[in-house]
């Protein structure tokens, strides 16, 4: 994956030098979200991500996304869309993005970056984490219409175990939060999430691909594998398509 470091540097200079230019929330005032993207910065990163690393695949090629960022305590710091009109991104993805951010943060450590995509097989029937998805339910107080900031400063929780959620790390290699992306296929959501993280300079110590999505069709069997999606691309390379249904 060829990640665009010049873009990263521009965004860092433009965005993180004015860290408080986004929402003036209680969490920002208390310093809990410092070092993480503000709403304005997250929107800029979402806009740049589809062009940073080749085709992102899916239905919309990464151009219709919800993005959410939480701090290490799981408190929602920012939520926004790629588009200027948030009603033109799936409304249901607003809440899923929060779930993914919470999951990416909640199951990653300084020494282990674990993406939501890597959890997929573990939660299937017959596997060791079956039932994990119902262990930490989403707080309905965080439900909001497209364009609303409902949920900011709250721990919205929820667990999602398919692609799109990652841990966020500072320059010292410490985990400081999580990002969740939703609005396309789970595979495309993951592609955009890792690009946003890389552009923001918040990769884990092992690099931007240490918690990357894998597919058994190309990478071989693994407990960390994830199914193919429609029009699946990874790191600028076409991987394949979701298998057709059989028996109905």
Q: Is residue 246 part of a domain?
A: no
pTM listed for this prediction = 0.89
**37, 69 in Cβ contact below 8 A?**
yes
Q: What is the CATH number of the domain that holds 75?
A: 3.30.450.150
Q: Is residue 37 part of a domain?
A: yes
Task: Specify which residues 234 forms β-bridges with.
Answer: 237
Task: State the pairing for strand pair 165-169/175-182.
Answer: antiparallel
Q: Is residue 244 part of a domain?
A: no
Domain assignment of residue 130, given as a range: 5-239
> How many domains are there within the chain?
1
C-alpha separations of 66 from 14, 78, 113, 147 in Å: 22, 11, 22, 10
- In three-state secondary structure terms, 194 is helix
Taking residue 109's Cβ as centre, other Cβ atoms within 10 Å add up to: 11
Cα separation, 65 vs 142, in Å, equals: 18
Q: Is residue 247 part of a domain?
A: no
Q: Is residue 163 part of a domain?
A: yes
Q: Is residue 224 part of a domain?
A: yes
Average pLDDT for consecutive 10-residue bins of the chain (248 residues)? 47 41 53 93 98 97 98 98 97 97 98 98 96 93 94 96 98 98 98 98 97 96 96 97 90
Cα separation, 29 vs 32, in Å, equals: 8
């Amino acid at each position: 994956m060829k990640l665009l470091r010049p873009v990263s540097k521009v965004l860092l200079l433009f965005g993180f030098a004015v860290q408080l230019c986004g929402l003036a929330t209680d969490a920002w005032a208390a310093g809990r979200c410092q070092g993480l993207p503000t709403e304005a910065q997250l929107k800029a990163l979402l806009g740049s991500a589809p062009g940073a690393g080749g085709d992102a695949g899916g239905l919309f090629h990464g151009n219709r996304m919800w993005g959410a960022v939480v701090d290490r305590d799981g408190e929602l710091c920012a939520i926004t869309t790629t588009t200027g009109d948030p009603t033109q991104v799936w409304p249901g993805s607003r809440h899923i993005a929060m779930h993914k951010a919470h999951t990416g943060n909640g199951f990653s450590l300084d020494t282990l970056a674990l993406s939501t995509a890597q959890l997929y097989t573990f939660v299937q029937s017959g596997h060791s984490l079956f039932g994990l998805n119902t262990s930490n339910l989403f707080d309905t107080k965080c439900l909001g219409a497209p364009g609303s900031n409902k949920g900011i400063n709250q721990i919205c929780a929820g667990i999602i175990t398919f692609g799109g959620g990652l841990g966020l790390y500072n320059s010292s290699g410490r985990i400081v939060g999580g990002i969740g992306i939703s609005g396309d296929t789970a595979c495309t959501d993951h592609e955009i999430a890792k690009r946003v993280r890389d552009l923001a300079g918040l990769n884990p110590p092992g690099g931007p691909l240490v918690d990357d999505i894998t597919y058994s069709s190309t990478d071989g069997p693994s407990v960390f594998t994830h199914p193919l999606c429609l029009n699946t691309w990874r790191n600028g390379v076409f991987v394949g398509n979701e298998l057709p249904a059989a028996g109905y």
